[in-house]
Amino acid sequence: MKKEFSIIIPTYNEAENIVPLLKDITKILGSQSQNYEIIVSDDNSPDLTWQIVENFAIESKSPNIKIFRRLGKEKGLSRSVVDAFNVASGDILIVMDGDRQHEETCLLELIKIADNFDMVIGSRFTKGAKIAAK
């Protein structure tokens, strides 16, 4: 049985990055269309990142993309991620930065590896890791 997974993307003022990131993720995961969700956990960005995500999800007719707008809550990366974990439906939870610092091309490999482990961490600081400029 295929596990479901949730990709959590915490954002604050990522209006310029978010749609290209969502497009790239959905393109990479195209064949996995029924067993994932993308939750953009936004700290009520003044640049309306949350609105851009909402509009993109509607326009692209993608039920996999969800916006979790954090109103009246203490802002911050860790709190945003934990709050999104609490609404996620996946068996596997993945966290990616909204500023595109994380390589979305590694998603399929990480998901495959996650079937065998309780935790998988992608890091540019491990032996053999590379940092590639976009």
Sketch the domain layout of the chain as residue ranges.
5-114
Contacts of 68 (CB under 8 A, 6+ apart): 39, 40, 41, 42, 83, 84, 87
The tens digit of pLDDT for each residue in 22-69 reads 999 999 887 555 689 999 999 999 999 999 999 999 999 888 999 999
> Is 80 exceeded by the pLDDT of residue 122?
no
Instruction: Give the per-residue pLDDT at 73.
Output: 72
> Is 50 exceeded by the pLDDT of residue 123?
yes
For domain 5-114, the question of CATH label 3.90.550.10 is answered with yes
The tens digit of pLDDT for each residue in 87-118 reads 999 988 999 988 877 778 788 888 888 877 77
Please state, in angstroms and rounded to a whole number, the distance separating the CA atoms of residues 34 and 87: 18
pTM of the model: 0.86
